[in-house]
Structure 1
Amino acid sequence: MNAIRPQSDSAEPLRHDIRLLGRLLGTVIEECEGKRVFDTIETLRRTAVKFRREGIDADSKLLEQRVKRLQGTDPNSVARAFSYFLHLANIAEDRDQNRRQRARALIDDTAARGSLRDAVQTLASQGVSVARIRRWLADACVVPVLTAHPTEVQRKSTLDVHREIATALTQRDVPLTPQELADLDAALLGRVATLWQTRMLRYTRLTVADEIENALSYYRSTFLTVIPRVYADLSKLLNREPAKPFAAPPAPLEPFLRMGSWIGGDRDGNPNVDASTLERALLRQATVLFEHYLQEVHALGAELSITTLLISADAELLALADSSGDDSPHRSDEPYRRALVGVYARLAATAQALTGQNLARRSTVAAPAYQAPQELSADLATIAASLAAHHGAPIAKLRLSGLQQAVEVFGFHLATVDLRQSSDVHERVLAELFERAGTQRDGKALDYLALNEDERVALLRTELAQARPLASPWIAYSEDTTRELAVLRAAAAGRARYGKQAVRQTIVSHTETLSDLLEVMVLQKEAGLIAPAGQDIAAEDGLMVVPLFETIPDLQRGADIMAAWLDLPEVRQRVKQAQNGAQEVMLGYSDSNKDGGFLTSNWSLYQAERALVDVFSARNVRLRLFHGRGGSVGRGGGSSFDAILAQPPGTVAGQIRLTEQGEVIQSKYKDAEVGRWHLELLVAASLESSLAPRAEATSAEDAHMAQHGPAMSFMSDTAQRTYRGLVYDTPRFAEYFFAATPISEIAGLNIGSRPASRKKGQRIEDLRAIPWGFSWAQCRLMLTGWYGMGSAIEAYLETGAPDAPRSRRSRLAQLREMARDWPAFRTLLSNMEMVLAKSDLAIAARYAQLVPQRALRERVFGSISAEHGRTLQMLKLLTQRELLADNPMLQDSLRERFAYIDPLNYLQIDLIRRHRAAQKHPDAEVDKRVQSAIHLTINGIAAGLRNSG
């Protein structure tokens, strides 16, 4: 008997799995690379482990020296070994999370915090009825949106092997005979050997088509099956009466949890995205979806072998069977199978019509295509009703109910693809259209770019009411204008083909003015997506124009822009009739952090949300916030559950979308059970945040803002000055950044279709926020998740805001109260604490040595080091404990991981030094080998820290 009987609070099963995987990896390395390489890797590992356990500086220096002595192919082997160990440790940790949840359920039937069960019980204890939850579901919109970003470092090939290893680990938890255990471990060894012999890096940069396929792999492994299970779990919780074994399964829930995607439609700064990529994204999504539907219906046909010789069937079911065209004598008494033959044939015909492909697994009878998902739902409902009426409800629950829910959620489109483009592109396109159309103003040719904001708004509103188009098919426009109009026309065609849910939003990056939004409305009219203002508007007509406020100034004026937008009669009409009374606003975490630093970004986002709630409430419009969160804390990362519950009252209200970016997707969703838990957390947090008694929450929040808001504003101003003083006001800071981090080497890694910078050069302003955060993580500073916070807290304690408590002791007591009682501040500190625990100033100092100019190095790193120490000191003062003292599991995990991340950092530093020296005296063969090793270390460090951008 091998099975580990896990206890929910025991770390031993995880240690056992990690030791097992590490031992197997060592066996593979010794076999494939030889004993000398294995001994080299093992010596480095033992030195790193000894340093982390004993903290003796001599061991750190010895590790550094041994890394520097690596020659030939050894750096690549060392980088791969430590990287793959960290990948394997991640797999083990993810499986252990599932194991702990299961163990907790076996030991204690109490609902886990964050589960759907806990959310429903919590709401019930607060007097929220099931009927109210059902009403909430009818109007709710909870959407994780998958995005592709330039820091997604893992290949799909390796992720596929990861899933197989995870499955094998799960199988080891059940009782096995000695032979079964030996066979399973042999299979595990084979998977680890496959991983070692699989290329970790891509030879070529990802294309948008690659990114589309990568995202679709998560639908096959997780979303298509797990999302219907989440619905089923919630449905059971809402049907509180004990279900009778043969009671009819409940009807599918309203589709409140859906999937979104930016892949194929996000053009902002990515010249590789155009109309063809949007068309491809929609086509490939539909293809994967119909493959799933056909597979499920085929399986149902095998399962529903029910004969009318033994059990009756509804007349409607018999009619459906008779209309199927199936005349096989072998199924003459099996109406469910005959009906499903017809459903399968119609699905195959639908897939052929929409995708142009024959996706059927077998030949089918001639049948008309479904014209809409509702027709498929009706046929499945007929089958389900007959089963329920004739003692077949348990049979329906096996597969049919899940398929019914899937059709409700995924329709014929799978996921809604958002469009996104920068406002300055829209501006240039409109300027050209007005110019080429010969538009006049005061008897002169109109120069749109020269108009002030009021003039632009007036012109655009007038244009929206015009029936005639601006664009002409007889005029050759610039590339920008041609591309933008083609994308919008492709969106219109996609909606007509796959349904209006296929493309619903068009996001305007860098929204700064009201005209930025009106410009997109005019372009939609040009593409035939909306009719001229004043005409009738159908439900879901056109694309919702979504502003993206991403810099600190944009966040501060966002509420005023939305007030002006919602006060336009033509917009109010569209919101009411086409958008079901809701308007979406996107908030950017990455760029606001890069612009103003960690604290100012978070506080500006918080204040912006409160201001938006007031604007929307006053106009009786439902606010849907779209959170542009990333993986790192500097980009809004951290626990989604805690983040949602820490939102100001009224900001969720059943309406929330959030991005799942880059490496976060594979971390959360590569494993079906882990993915199910993260989706459950998202829904549970949305439920609680939306339905918890509003008056009490609002009163508590108002009290926090009145008492602590001035302190937060004071600290935010101080933090922003400190941050911008370093990043934007320090002479030659960009030079330091490009030398002391692997940003240049990251740009050369084939990990995304989008360029790392908007423009060529070394201006911080032109660098994308994602590789900016990625670079600071690689050098172990994690600067975007804490810098400026120490100075802010210290300044408040020493001087205070004008209305602050008079004594330092009183101000400290106030900050401790905020850390204890205010969810917004508590979550902020918790996220920062996790980032600081991952940082390592000693290793960061080694990266600083890559800066050749000593004065610059000492000035910048001296400021960073001082602020790091100050922030640690202030955090400890507020929390009154050591880092992560309240989270021993994470503390233990990081302690173990550092022994494997440290060698990668030391190796990366040495390789970067070699690579940059070689660039001065090129030796193509040597440099290519060194460059490959650098990229391997980037992969490993990202895996070890469990976030990249």
Structure 2
Amino acid sequence: METPNHHRTESLDDALHDDIRLLGRILGDTVRAVEGAQVYGLIETLRQLAVRFHRNQDHTAQTELEGILASLSDDEINKITRAFGYFSILANIAEDHHHTRRWRAHLVSGSPPREGSLANAIAQARAQGYDDAKLKSFFETAYIAPVLTAHPTEVQRRSILDTLDAITALLVRRDRLAETQEEYAEIETELRALVFTLWQTRMLRTSKLSVLDEVANALTFFDATFFAEVPRLYAAVEKEIGADKLPSFLEVGCWIGGDRDGNPFVDGKVLTSALALQAERAFAFYLEQARKLRRELPLAGLLALVTPELLKLAEASPDASEHRADEPYRRALAKIQARLAATQEVLLGHRPSGSISASARNAAAEPYASPDEFIAELEIIERSLLGHGAKLLTQRRLGSLLRAARVFGWTLAPLDLRQNSDVHARTVGELLEVAAPGTNYAGLAEEARIALLLAELATPRPLTSRHVAYSAETAKELAIFDAARAAHLRFGPRCIRNMIISKADGVSDMLELAVLLKEAGLLRPAEGALDVNIVPLFETIGDLRAAPGIMETLFSLPLYRHLLASRTEIQEVMLGYSDSNKDGGFLTSGWELYRAEVGLVEVFARHGVRIRLFHGRGGSVGRGGGPSYQAILAQPRGAVQGQIRLTEQGEVIAAKYGNAEVGRRNLEVLVSATLVATAEPELAEPLAPSFPQALGELSDAAFAAYRGLVYETPGFEDYFWASTVITEIASLNLGSRPASRAKGRNIEDLRAIPWVFSWAQCRAMLPGWYGFGSAVDALLAARGPERGMWLLQSMFQDWPVFATLLSNMDMVMAKADMGIAARYAALVENEALRGKIYPRIAAEYERTKAHLLAITGQRGLLERNPALRRSILYRFPYLDPLNHVQVEMLRRYRAAQEGEREESERIRRGVHISINGIAAALRNSG
């Protein structure tokens, strides 16, 4: 057996190819051994035919493909689907490992800091006049938070992810530690065992996830990445700028268990349970770290002159063993463990079951009143160690534990609450009607609503009564707010900081939430106190256009400004990428988001309020996805100011934070981009007024083209439901949230996530590009071909806003395949409808591609992004067959009579397995 030695004898790209071939060979051997040579041969034949079809739209290959697939049994087709699906998943592992390998090789070589790294960002900031003092000031006032959200595009089961993590660990070991042929052989044997396990592990969930299942899944990323890497990143920043104990500028946020917009399963009990699960994980971590720290600090009092406060802590220890009588640090840590255990019992109702010293397990101890008391006792240990020259010992586990406690507190991540503005309006309307019969809140104009709500907010008198039986919806909402207030009293105000109003389109939406907060005691008019941030979410194109005016009116209200003073004059605004895209298309969404930010920055500056934008980005380009670094740098002047939050959704969470090294890089990218965007706010400024004017013209034309297809073409809904897997996605056990906000097939009611996910599955990827080609045609016709193209090329070269839009479009178009999309279109039984819509989509794709290449100066898609282009070349020979197989399975499943559907269970599972596989191969599909 040949010893690979990637890092010494091969180029890094060869090493990636070697890893993919290794995993592919092991998977192939597993399939051949378990399922037989015939199934393996079928897989290879289908792969080769799919490659032929992809390269030149070979109709002979298509005919052969269709013939073979039609002849297969349901059992055979399932095995083939699983094989291609698992290859895509294994290729992802190899690719992620390769990114880490390249990053490490760069560090080892001592090359200049790369874009996105902390060192590079600090160097750029210094070039803009940021000395150590100014850098320290930035980090003291910054707030950066990736926010974990659960959405129905997370397709991997936890058991699958655990096996994949083990495979990743073996690839790391193979790359960095293996030297001999025996060591390589041993690793390959272990890889074979894991791939065999993967092959015989159920890929699908048999039951739908609950909200608390989603919470539990999210918590695994704290163990995998956040507990270790967040403190390390803080340490790196402090070292780079010569600072000590920076305040918490980077946190991880969460929506899971608090986001009830369209999710009927989130209520007060679920909210309470979600926070308890988070707290339990936090206490388990702190107790485990304290236990390990106790073992690592056997320092003797005779040899180390400890401080009096450390001695006092040690003297109160429950550890009375004579063997540790002269080990004050161990005795002090036993006291800390006992207090943690007592705190857990008070907050969660039970004591810890593991990770605690025997002497502290059942010891009587005073619980901590807050995380600050826990931190204060850890600082006693830190000061004592520093006092006798043991600074090195403070920089290891103790330093990480201190930072973790400051950042994570008792509940790990602040939990956002979100609800639709319509629900708030109905709830407040019912409260007003009960309190003053005859009040028709729903019938009031906006100005009258505002006046009525302001009057309610000016008085401490409650609207609610314990003696009234409210409707089920209102009772549920009131219980949520009561649970939030109880959580503040139980865990501290950090546990819930933000309440988000989706579908916000007026000032009354903000004031309705304020009234509900007042009823729960989270807003106290007499004190001018507001305990949470009121955050409007502007989602549709119309809402984005109205956003600056809404905030202008809101800031003009003295009562609201008085409340905002209790939130340190920082107002958060959330921007919806997903729904604005579904509403107006990719280009118009990007343009209107940019315009809204420019307008909001002006309004906030005029009123002296600091802005914090919360970007509701998804994983896919159609939902605002794409590289985070470029996206942050493309924000208009003044939109960052050291403050940014952004959602991490669906399968993107596992991709970014499932591995510690990858997770660290992603966190570092967020911090670095925020620093650079703040230090160089002019980066995204257009060089000429003609740039935004031209993008506005493009947006208008793209909007007309997109709306013309999606919302104004008769029968388009029927085409969408027949030519994509939306029906099957709606029934797949992916997440706790329904695919649609209301029953029915209306695209308006459909959630943006399954909308984008469905178009990705059929490889049309329509939400990520449609309308751009027609828009460029219109601009060239208006300005002249040569002059218009020169302007567009100048915008691409000199304006990051436009360059980022086109870069993301380039990525999504490279993953599209109109030949495969045509096979899905053939599922539309109405031939006239199919003939009216598919050619229109295909023609727009070709128009868009031609203009994109001309503007960017590329000969082919992704020419400027060779790494992603190479990734696609490696994985698409195994992705394309999945699409062909999926089409055949959809045809079979849909052809079955209603009475036969029970007998079609195997093929239904096959469809769902193919959805898993295609999502894994595309990586950012939802």
Give TM class, smaller chain.
Answer: over 0.9
What code does the residue aligned with 1:496 have?
A: L
What code does the residue aligned with 1:624 have?
A: R
1: CA distance, partners of 2:18 / 2:350: 48
2: CA distance, partners of 1:116 / 1:7: 30
Q: CA deviation at 1:33?
A: 1.8
Deviation track 1:402-426 (CA, whole Å, cap 9, x = no partner) reads: 1110011011121011111111111
- Equivalent in the alignment of 1:85: 87
2: CA distance, partners of 1:7 / 1:556: 57
What code does the residue aligned with 2:554 have?
A: W
Q: CA deviation at 1:391?
A: 2.6
Q: CA deviation at 1:799?
A: 1.2
- Equivalent in the alignment of 1:186: 189
What code does the residue aligned with 2:535 have?
A: V
Distance change in 2, residues 1:904/1:796 (3 Å): same
What code does the residue aligned with 2:875 have?
A: R
What code does the residue aligned with 2:172 have?
A: T
Partner SS, residue 170 of structure 2: helix
Correspondence for 1:475 among 468, 472, 475: 468
- Equivalent in the alignment of 2:557: 568
Correspondence for 2:875 among 879, 891, 897: 897
1: CA distance, partners of 2:637 / 2:32: 57
Deviation track 1:864-890 (CA, whole Å, cap 9, x = no partner) reads: 011111101111111121211112221
Q: CA deviation at 1:567?
A: 1.3
1:701 is aligned to 2:690: no
2: CA distance, partners of 1:900 / 1:796: 39
- Equivalent in the alignment of 2:861: 883
- Equivalent in the alignment of 1:329: 322
Partner SS, residue 73 of structure 1: helix
1:761 is aligned to 2:738: no
Contact between 2:762 and 2:820, CA under 8 Å: does it hold in 1? yes
The more displaced of 782-791 and 807-816 is: 807-816
Correspondence for 1:71 among 67, 73, 91: 73
Superposition map of 1:607-622 within 5 A: 607-622=595-610
The more displaced of 568-577 and 5-14 is: 5-14
What code does the residue aligned with 1:708 have?
A: F
What code does the residue aligned with 2:728 have?
A: E
The more displaced of 319-328 and 377-386 is: 319-328
Deviation track 1:5-45 (CA, whole Å, cap 9, x = no partner) reads: 16997311111111111111112212222222222223223
1: CA distance, partners of 2:19 / 2:528: 59
- Equivalent in the alignment of 1:201: 204
Could you say what the CA RMSD is over the residues aligned between the two structures, in angstroms? 1.5
1:111 is aligned to 2:95: no
Q: CA deviation at 1:510?
A: 0.6
Deviation track 1:750-778 (CA, whole Å, cap 9, x = no partner) reads: 00111111122211111111100000000
1:551 is aligned to 2:540: yes
- Equivalent in the alignment of 2:572: 584
2: CA distance, partners of 1:380 / 1:156: 35
Superposition map of 1:789-938 within 5 A: 789-800=772-783, 807-881=784-858, 882-918=860-896, 920=897, 922-938=899-915
Contact between 1:589 and 1:635, CA under 8 Å: does it hold in 2? yes
Distance change in 2, residues 1:525/1:181 (3 Å): same
Partner SS, residue 886 of structure 1: coil
Partner SS, residue 656 of structure 1: strand
What code does the residue aligned with 2:443 have?
A: A
Correspondence for 1:227 among 225, 230, 239: 230
Q: CA deviation at 1:51?
A: 5.0
Deviation track 1:528-550 (CA, whole Å, cap 9, x = no partner) reads: 11112xx2245xx4221110100
1:458 is aligned to 2:451: yes
Superposition map of 1:340-489 within 5 A: 340-361=333-354, 362-363=357-358, 364=360, 365-439=363-437, 445-489=438-482
2: CA distance, partners of 1:53 / 1:926: 37
What code does the residue aligned with 2:861 have?
A: L
Q: CA deviation at 1:899?
A: 0.7
What code does the residue aligned with 1:813 have?
A: W
1: CA distance, partners of 2:117 / 2:10: 16
1: CA distance, partners of 2:184 / 2:548: 61
1:710 is aligned to 2:710: no
2: CA distance, partners of 1:847 / 1:209: 36
1:522 is aligned to 2:515: yes
Structure 2: runs of 5+ lacking an equivalent: none
Correspondence for 1:506 among 496, 499, 504: 499
Q: CA deviation at 1:52?
A: 5.0
1:274 is aligned to 2:235: no
1:542 is aligned to 2:535: no
Contact between 1:204 and 1:750, CA under 8 Å: does it hold in 2? yes
2: CA distance, partners of 1:899 / 1:926: 32
Partner SS, residue 263 of structure 1: coil
1: CA distance, partners of 2:912 / 2:270: 28
Contact between 2:263 and 2:737, CA under 8 Å: does it hold in 1? yes
Contact between 1:597 and 1:719, CA under 8 Å: does it hold in 2? yes
Distance change in 2, residues 1:176/1:914 (3 Å): same
Correspondence for 2:757 among 774, 784, 790: 774
- Equivalent in the alignment of 2:167: 165
Partner SS, residue 202 of structure 1: coil
Q: CA deviation at 1:377?
A: 1.0
2: CA distance, partners of 1:647 / 1:418: 24
2: CA distance, partners of 1:373 / 1:221: 23
Deviation track 1:464-514 (CA, whole Å, cap 9, x = no partner) reads: 112221111011100110010100110111111111110011111111111
Q: CA deviation at 1:312?
A: 2.0
2: CA distance, partners of 1:125 / 1:446: 61
Correspondence for 2:640 among 637, 644, 652: 652
1: CA distance, partners of 2:587 / 2:713: 20
- Equivalent in the alignment of 2:768: 785
Correspondence for 2:676 among 677, 688, 696: 688
Superposition map of 1:660-679 within 5 A: 660-679=648-667
The more displaced of 465-474 and 34-43 is: 34-43
1:744 is aligned to 2:743: no
1:260 is aligned to 2:253: yes
Contact between 1:286 and 1:413, CA under 8 Å: does it hold in 2? yes
Contact between 2:686 and 2:798, CA under 8 Å: does it hold in 1? no
2: CA distance, partners of 1:357 / 1:139: 38
Contact between 1:559 and 1:612, CA under 8 Å: does it hold in 2? yes
- Equivalent in the alignment of 1:245: none
Contact between 1:141 and 1:656, CA under 8 Å: does it hold in 2? yes
Superposition map of 1:725-736 within 5 A: 725-736=708-719
2: CA distance, partners of 1:366 / 1:921: 64
Deviation track 1:408-450 (CA, whole Å, cap 9, x = no partner) reads: 10111210111111111111111111111125xxxxx211111
2: CA distance, partners of 1:572 / 1:8: 63
Contact between 2:686 and 2:799, CA under 8 Å: does it hold in 1? no
Contact between 1:6 and 1:103, CA under 8 Å: does it hold in 2? no
Q: CA deviation at 1:70?
A: 1.7
Q: CA deviation at 1:55?
A: 6.7
Partner SS, residue 150 of structure 1: coil
Partner SS, residue 143 of structure 1: strand
1:631 is aligned to 2:648: no
The more displaced of 134-143 and 318-327 is: 318-327
Superposition map of 1:587-602 within 5 A: 587-602=575-590
What code does the residue aligned with 1:590 have?
A: S
- Equivalent in the alignment of 2:524: 531
Contact between 1:741 and 1:776, CA under 8 Å: does it hold in 2? yes
Partner SS, residue 908 of structure 2: helix
Contact between 1:584 and 1:623, CA under 8 Å: does it hold in 2? yes
What code does the residue aligned with 1:162 have?
A: L
Q: CA deviation at 1:948?
A: 2.3
How many residue pairs get aligned? The number is: 917
Distance change in 2, residues 1:626/1:531 (3 Å): same
